[in-house]
Structure 1
Amino acid sequence: MHPTPAPPPRAARAREIVSLAAFDEVAAGHGSLAGYRVQAVDLTDRTSTLLRLDSTDAVFLGCPMAPEAAARVRASGALVFPPVPGLPFDPYRGCPYTPEELYASLDRGYEATPDARAHAWSRRTAGDGDVFASMLRAIHDDAVSDALDDILDGCRVVGVMGGHATERGSVEYAGAARLGRSLARAGFTVATGGGPGAMEAANLGAYAAPFADTMLEEALVLLAKAPSFRPSVTEWARAAFEVRSRWPGGGTSVGIPTWFYGHEPPNAFAAHIAKYFANATREDGLLARSTAGVVFLPGAAGTVQEIFDNATPNYYESHGEPRPMVLVDRDHWTRELPAWPLLRSLAAGRALESRIALVDGIDEAPGALVRLRG
């Protein structure tokens, strides 16, 4: 097994247009669309521009445009992939999701939101073997990966892994939130699996980073009134948006969830949500993008898998910037789920040996991460 390759440099993606403002800038500054890739930009009001500019070798992905404009760009050598009607998501999207986007219509209940509708579409089409649905899922996930690389370009990303079962109001949830806040205040970009539990707590902590410490204490109390996404995702999400409304403009972090686990709704504290249909793509991408290290909170099967998935590139790589791994809770990782002894044995004599640490408590994790980074 070989390490997952790093995303291409930003220069390789410089000819992508993902907003109307960027389209107008290219049209005015370059006077040509030749070779550009335009993703999910509504061009219905840019007919005169499309009729005028060269579109040789351009590609338009899901861009609404007037029929005469579509005919003109095709005639000049462009490829036009029209929007797909009837979908609860845009397969060509050029940016990650926002919490407001995924939870639109929450006032009518979670089942009315784009997030729930996309999951329902995925379940409905996953088993029927329809190649068109498979293609749409693949295009969507690739577009999300590309958008995520744009967002994270130049960031020092620390992944925080942990179970979804950690409830609001618990000591463990508060600790994970403090961890996210500490990492964000230290200049790291927090990235999680984007779901509930410890993942939400870490994203909440990053959101709380710009505020006084009392903000997080008060937010934890507000959230505790809906401890879990069971039995009601609606009430669980509403409590999060109440916190966001009371303290707008929080810190930025990333959530990378999946529709594969429909019982895990995305949390509302990650500013950028890269949600995938394919869980394997999501898991691999989250770890590969955690270039500044990963903190593993107590978890179950999924977290154990992530530990060894992340250990593999460190095991084989002897050069380059280290990617530290910090496991939190000595008793959990040596007795309950003894991943640490196996990890230490695997690391012996390898570069991985200097990149792993086991700490007793969450508050020790940021310091351990910095020490491992040298």
Structure 2
Amino acid sequence: MTERRIIGGDHRITADQHLLDVAHEEEWKQRAAWRVMKFQAEFVEGFDAMEEADLGDAIGVYGSARTPVDSEEYKRGVELGRKLGEAGFSVITGGGPGAMEAANRGAAEAGVKSVGLGIELPFEQGINEFVHIELDFKYFFVRKVMFLKYSCGFCALPGGFGTMDELFEALTLEQTGKVGKFPIALIGTDYWGGLVDWLRDSMLAQGKINAKDVDLLMVTDDLDEAVEHMKKAERHHQ
């Protein structure tokens, strides 16, 4: 059965909009202290729920909500989730459809814990049916902390802005030494190869990053290779 913990809410105007949108600036000034307490509550509830879940070693899987269920990309997502599960990892996704659903489905088929960290959006998305442990957040930054704290590695399936945001958040924290080392695998050389080429040919060539920063990323089509890469940074949450 799915264990559901609703930390966020269901509102057309999201909590992030109330926090960040200039149109809500006056409301924010009037209720600033109250909203800070809401941040705190989301963190406390999120930490409590994730600790209770007792995930052990878990891998965060990013990917597009728009990946069609009947696509080869979706099938690879299922296979990735299954292989991670068979290797003993729990799987954490954003809990939505598409690539996230695929990874959760593979984890469920492998019999490991399948986690969905949902987010309040102005349009319906919902948590996929293959999630065992569901948390719904109002604030993106709280959700990101849960991903980073409870994952010991990350796999990125093809995705859009959300995937890029989460990927580069993880890369930045590792590059700057704000977190310990964790492996990152980009699944799909055709999809991700151009990005890594740009990092090397533009960012690295102009001295904006170091060669070792590019090396933080593995790009592969081999799911077994990706899973082996994840094993390099296993750690257990006590």
Give the TM-score taking structure 2 as reference length.
0.76
Question: Would the alpha carbon gap of residues 284 and 154 (structure 1) be closer, same or farther in structure 2, given more than 3 Å must change?
Answer: closer
Out of 86, 89, 92, the position equivalent to 1:188 is 89
Q: Deviations over 1:52-108 (max 9, x none)?
A: xxxxxxxxxxxxxxxxxxxxxxxxxxxxxxxxxxxxxxxxxxxxx835x77xxxxxx
Matched, 1:255 2:160: no
Partner Cα distance (1:365, 1:194) in 2: 21
SS in 1 for 2:45: helix
What percentage of residue pairs aligned between the two structures are identical?
27
Matches within 5 A, 1:148-187: 148-151=49-52, 155-187=56-88
Q: How does 1:1-374 map to 2 (within 5 A)?
A: 98-99=3-4, 118-120=9-11, 123=14, 126=18, 127=24, 129=28, 131=31, 134=35, 137-151=38-52, 155-210=56-111, 251-260=112-121, 262-291=123-152, 293-317=153-177, 322-335=181-194, 338-339=195-196, 341-342=198-199, 345=204, 346=209, 348-349=211-212, 353=215, 355-362=216-223, 364-370=225-231, 372-373=232-233
Change (3 A) 1:258 1:339: farther
Partner of 1:75: none
CA distance in 1, matches of 2:163, 2:51: 27
- 2:65 match: secondary structure: coil
Letter in structure 2 aligned against 1:208:
E
Do the aligned partners of residues 262 and 339 (structure 1) sit closer, same or farther apart at CA in structure 2, a change above 3 Å counting? farther
CA offset at residue 364 of structure 1?
4.1
Say which structure is richer in strand. Answer: 2
Coordinate RMSD, CA, aligned? 3.3
Alignment check: 8 A CA contact 1:194 1:270 kept: yes
Question: Residue type matched to 1:331 in 2?
Answer: D
Task: In structure 1, give the amino acid aligned to 2:162.
Answer: G
Q: 1:261 to 1:208 in 2, by over 3 A?
A: farther
Return structure 1 stretches of 4+ with deviation > 6 angstroms: none
Amino acid at match of 1:134: R
Where do 5+ consecutive residues of structure 2 fail to align?
A: 19-23
One-letter code aligned to 2:193: T
Describe the SS at the equivalent of 2:159: coil
- The secondary structure found in structure 1 opposite 2:137 is coil
How far 1:136 sits from its partner (Å)?
6.8
Closer, same or farther: CA 269–154 of 1 in aligned 2, 3 Å = closer
The one of the two structures with greater contact order (alpha-carbon pairs below 8 A, sep at least 6) is 2
Mapped contact 2:82–2:106 kept (Cα < 8 A): yes
Q: TM-score, normalised by structure 1?
A: 0.50
Matched length: 217
Mapped to 2, the partners of 1:157 and 1:200 lie a distance apart of 16
Letter in 2 for 1:120: H
Q: Which amino acid is the alignment partner of residue 226 of structure 2?
A: A
State whether residues 252 and 271 of structure 1, in contact with CA within 8 Å, keep that contact through their aligned partners in structure 2: yes
> C-alpha distance in 1, partners of 2:42/2:116?
14
Q: Which residue type is aligned with residue 190 of structure 2? A: D
Gapped regions of structure 1 (runs ≥ 5) = 1-96, 103-113, 211-250
Displacement of 1:287 after TM fit?
Answer: 2.8
Aligned partner of 1:187: which letter? G
Q: Which amino acid aligns with 2:129?
A: A
After superposition, the Cα gap between the structure-2 partners of 1:168 and 1:145, relative to the gap in structure 1 and judged at 3 Å, is same
Write the deviation string for residues 226-273 of structure 1: whole angstroms up to 9, x where unpaired. Answer: xxxxxxxxxxxxxxxxxxxxxxxxx32211110035332122222111
Contact preservation (8 Å) 2:55, 2:113: no
